[in-house]
Structure 1
Amino acid sequence: MNLRIETGNFDDFFEAPFNAYGSQSPFVSPLRSDLQRFVSHDKNPLFSDQGEISIFTALRDDRPIGRITAHVHTASNELHGLRRAYFGYFDCAEDKEAAGALLNAAENWARERKLEEIAGNFNLTAMQQIGVVTDGFENTPYTDQVWNPPHITQFLEEFGYSAEFPMATFEIDLKKKEAPAIGPKQQAVLDDPDFQFAKISRWNIKERMEQARFLLNSAFAKNPMFVPVSAEEYNFQAKDMVWIIDPRISALLTYRGEPVATILCVPDLNPFLQRIRSRPGLSMPWHFLRHRFTNRRAILIYAAVRADMHGKGINPVVLRQVILSMKATGYETLGNTWIADVNPASLAQTEKAGGHQLHRTHLFRKVLK
């Protein structure tokens, strides 16, 4: 059967994982229009020109069965002193020839730009979906969690990639778990009138998101792979937040009126996206409304405490507030995006909150010769 690799055809790029994995897999695609703008060099502020991202699709007898992006995050390379290319959205049928051709296309793209290594998945930065699932394949992902079948890991290893930077995603069963207990540090925060939770609503969401971005940049400044997120990039990624956010399940803590900590959560959209196969259509508004009234899952996108407030027991106070609000408003499970093994404090806090592991994930890297 004939195999070919094409470049730049978004329609085939979008269709490939649906053909590769079938309708019964846990795979969930971003909404078609969102994915299209994510991988567009002229729409995504992450990229400054056309040469910074390409999309490749593998077709077997003209049927899309695999895909990959090759891109460069220039700001990350400059900040961390790397000459690294990134691959992302690597999805493929159980077809070794197709997988090898896709990886080879991404590697050649990187070599043409004199880059020394390639790593992924990055969809598209470390502050978005990253990693390849290496365990927990049977577990349904939440919004912003990656998923792939076992053969993706096998193909990467067979084509010379090594697993590194281990991570995990988690889930908390809110029906079984009480809100986390608080200790003396947390009680001191709760008793201090200078600490107040700010109101979050659809009317002030723009201001609150800018405060959350400030806290993200402050809290994560020393984390591996982190690059400060500009207002343009943040707003691009959170473009439709006003429509999907449930203000009851996020929290912003202030100290003397200034933001010091946030936990940003959104309802899990994956069941809705699966129903519409991530394709907008006439029935999409009905499915969205139905999902809003029946959904019981939420995802913690990130938690951030301002750098000068670390060590004061603030994050458990905010997490407790979020979990209490979720339980009171009918949410039953809370997922979280990736936590790296090099972050034992966050892992310990997640375990203390009752989190159990959903997926084991790794980055896969290859030195280019």
Structure 2
Amino acid sequence: MITIVERDMAAFFRAPFNAYGGGTPHVSPMLSDLKRFLSAKTNPLFASDEDFSFFAAMRDGRPVGRITAHVHRASNTLHRLNRAYFGYFDCADDADSAAALLGAVEAWARKRGFSEIIGNFNLTAMQQAGVMTDGFEHHPYTDQIWGPPHLPRLLEANGYARSFPMTTFEQDISTLDAGRLTTPEQRRALADQGFSFAPVTRATLSERLEDARTILNDSFRDNPMFVPVTKEEFDFQAKEMKWVMDPRISTVMHHQGRAIGAVIVIPDLNPLVKATGARIGWSTPWHYLKYRMARRRAVVIFQGVMPQYQGKGLNPLMLAHALGAMRSAGYRTVGGTWIADVNKASLRQAEKSGARPLHRLHLFSKAL
């Protein structure tokens, strides 16, 4: 028998472990992160508890699925939408559990007068987004979604339609040919014009992250679904970065003293999170030391250039600089967050750099 429980964090957290087992590439967010994400007291995305809820499906008292329902009010206002959003959809291959979970979020959305629901968003388009539709055999990097092949089928069986195709990428740094991105002559020419790189260290982290937020908002403003990120939201999402960052591999580009581009990269934390069971416990320091000695994967969280500086060869220059720094630091592969099919320029850059497709994703929506 299936029952739905609401706002039960213990059941919500345990559901994907029970649904998928330990042998899949799935990596749960840390329990401590889920608690702060799903709280109006700590997450500036939510004005109050009325803006979200979360549910778990229980089969005979055991959680086997989960989902969130929420509203991104800034997105609805900017894009003139009347949408509810679902996220963190994880479920066993169980038609009754999926129907009950999706029914719960649809009821939540209808009660509040929304005309459609769409997801996954964990919890915005600038965080994890999409439902995986191909590439299931590949392990995800930090900030990439992984889900089993039955999730799209369960969504479609409940009246959801796929749209907005996206792809994540992976690049082998060990075989990097920087000449594919930019030539020494181009690099010298840009240096002569006053372009330079500034490292992102722990001492400069606050300043560099504010630079990155400004660059993010300006460079992504015309992208589909993008909503400018407030300082409170950006600081909230980057709260733990100083503890996990590697100052050797992120950079901000300056032109005559002004920040005009950024590549923000962090080590892939998924091996550590998986080893700890996504909980902080007595063994976490040991797992962290073991992880630090063996980390070989990094992930680009964000890359962008101010609009007035685009088309000058700066994106390839920044990427070549960052990839070279990663290789020098001992990293072997780097992953990237999703790129939509409509973003032809970014797709061309990924192809030119030698990146290979990793996962295929879609959004799934339903009229209410």
- Tell me the TM-score normalised to structure 2 length: 0.98
CA contact (8 A) 2:141 2:268 kept: yes
Q: Does 1:9 align with 2:20?
A: no
CA distance in 2, matches of 1:290, 1:354: 30
Map Cα deviations across residues 182-218 of structure 1 (whole Å, 9 max, x no partner). 1599446533251111132111111111111110001
- Structure 1 alignment gaps of length 5 or more: none
CA distance in 1, matches of 2:9, 2:50: 16
CA distance in 2, matches of 1:119, 1:175: 39
RMSD: 1.2
Q: Does 1:259 align with 2:263?
A: no
Identity of aligned residues (%): 53
SS of 1:168's equivalent?
Answer: strand
Partner of 2:239: 239
CA distance in 2, matches of 1:292, 1:146: 23
Map Cα deviations across residues 217-260 of structure 1 (whole Å, 9 max, x no partner). 01001111111101100010010100101111111100010001
CA contact (8 A) 2:253 2:260 kept: yes
Higher mean alpha-carbon deviation, 170-179 vs 110-119, is at 170-179
CA contact (8 A) 2:28 2:273 kept: yes
CA contact (8 A) 2:181 2:352 kept: no
- How far 1:81 sits from its partner (Å)? 0.1
Partner of 2:176: 177
CA distance in 1, matches of 2:15, 2:252: 40
Partner of 1:21: 20
Partner of 2:132: 133
- What are the equivalent positions in structure 2 for 1:186-265 lying under 5 Å apart? 186-187=186-187, 189-265=189-265
Q: 1:236 to 1:178 in 2, by over 3 A?
A: same
Q: 1:184 to 1:197 in 2, by over 3 A?
A: closer
CA contact (8 A) 1:44 1:236 kept: yes
Partner of 1:155: 154
- What are the equivalent positions in structure 2 for 1:1-369 lying under 5 Å apart? 2-179=1-178, 180-182=180-182, 186-187=186-187, 189-368=189-368
CA distance in 2, matches of 1:264, 1:67: 31
Residue 349 of structure 1 aligns with an amino acid whose one-letter code is Q
CA distance in 2, matches of 1:10, 1:191: 52
CA distance in 2, matches of 1:203, 1:151: 46
CA distance in 1, matches of 2:28, 2:221: 30
Higher mean alpha-carbon deviation, 37-46 vs 15-24, is at 37-46
CA distance in 2, matches of 1:106, 1:185: 56
Map Cα deviations across residues 63-108 of structure 1 (whole Å, 9 max, x no partner). 0000000000000000000000000000001110000000010011
CA contact (8 A) 1:189 1:314 kept: no
Residue 63 of structure 2 aligns with an amino acid whose one-letter code is P
What is the aligned length?
Answer: 367
SS of 1:175's equivalent?
Answer: helix
SS of 1:115's equivalent?
Answer: coil
- How far 1:31 sits from its partner (Å)? 1.1
SS of 1:36's equivalent?
Answer: helix
CA contact (8 A) 1:137 1:359 kept: yes
CA distance in 1, matches of 2:191, 2:239: 36
CA distance in 1, matches of 2:210, 2:273: 27
Residue 212 of structure 1 aligns with an amino acid whose one-letter code is A
Higher mean alpha-carbon deviation, 35-44 vs 12-21, is at 35-44
CA contact (8 A) 1:185 1:313 kept: no
Residue 173 of structure 1 aligns with an amino acid whose one-letter code is D
